[in-house]
Amino acid sequence: MKSQAAAAVAGQWAGEQADAATATAAQSLTAKLPARTLALVVYLVLLLLPIYWMLNMSLRDNNDIMTRLALYPEQPTFHNYVKILTDPAWYMGYVNSFAYVSLNTVISLAVALPAAYAFSRYRFLGDKHLFFWLLTNLMAPSAVYLLPVFQFYSALGLIDTYLAVALAHTLFNVPLAVWILEGFMSGVPREIDETAFVDGYSLPRFFIVVFLPLIRAGVGVTAFFCFMFSWVELLFARTLTITAAKPIAAVMTRTVSASGLDWGLLSAAGILTIVPGALVIYFVRNYIAKGFALGRV
């Protein structure tokens, strides 16, 4: 309590002497920097170890893997990767995954943007109930919907199409997108909207020309999250596809053959599923933290 009161006073004081004391205070408070850095490095190493082990496996052939435990591939081979990237039965899995993930991201953003704007700017009949209903879908167990969605989509003739998986994934991605976007949009002052309307902008034109550029970080983060959740989900993706739209994650079961499991091949396929995530994450790295806080920090 005491330090909170002091903080308010010191806040004013600091405002006046801003350049003198900035940044150094936070540092000197935590002077034990080496210990902190060490703890962080240890954590990151532990975090990467299981992924490293899979990378290690992916660069060895199955005989080598089964005969001895090696901390690093002594005779690295790209044989597993070559096999995956040259066999259509394998690489089409990646193409399929990308196709439905992209389609899902586009659909989710297209319906979530106007909805999030409505929630952030207007009150309307049943708005709170609608928002709550939306959230319940984010938390609905996929397993509950699995069988009925399969039967429903079968009746519509959607099974084994990109659209089927993309639509099924909107079940949780649309609520998520509305939620994150609403957080970012509420951070933009209403005065901007009002000024634009006085200047004679129509709502659609204002939204596209003025508003979207203002929240582009939020749109990027939302697209990232739609990509992420559609990419990692397997229960729907596997159930709603047979061959033509089968995701890579489901194709991975192919590594079980008569001679047992091909660990090297399985690992290479796994590593290749990590690469797209690592690439998109780089583009949103400065917004990740805020995005996970759903735009509400």
Find out whether 254 and 268 touch, Cβ atoms under 8 Å: no
- Cβ proximity to another protein: between 89 and 234 the closer is 234
Encoded tokens for 52: 């490293």
Minimum CB separation of residue 138 from another protein in Å reads 8
Residue given tokens 């990378």 in the structure block: 55
DSSP 256: E
Length of the chain as a residue count = 297
- 8 A C-beta contact, residue 94 and residue 250: no
User: Which of 258/285 has CB closer to another protein?
Assistant: 285
Q: Given the complex with another protein, which of 92 and 134 has the nearer CB atom?
A: 134
3-state secondary structure of 257: strand
The least CB distance from residue 200 to another protein, in Å, is 19
**What span, in angstroms and rounded, lies between the C-alpha atoms of 11 and 144?**
52
Which helix (H) or strand (E) segment is 166 a member of?
helix 162-186
Is the Cβ of residue 10 or residue 192 nearer to another protein in the bound state?
Answer: 10
Check: CB of residue 211 under 8 Å from CB of residue 117: yes
What's the min distance (Å) between Cβ of 23 and another protein?
Answer: 7
CB 150 to another protein: min, Å: 9
Which of helix, strand or coil describes residue 34?
helix
Could you tell me the smallest distance in angstroms from the CB atom of residue 52 to another protein? Answer: 9
| Residue 11 vs 88, nearer CB to another protein | 11
> How many beta carbons lie within 10 A of that of residue 263, not counting itself?
19
C-alpha 36/C-alpha 39 separation (Å) is 5
Taking the least distance from each CB to another protein, the nearer of 115 and 219 is 115
Instruction: Name residue 107's amino acid.
Output: I
Smallest separation, CB 297 to another protein (Å): 5
Residue closer to another protein by CB (options 49, 85) is 49
- Determine which helix (DSSP H) or strand (DSSP E) holds 110, and give its type and residue range: helix 88-121
Q: How far is the CB of 89 from another protein (least distance, A)?
A: 18
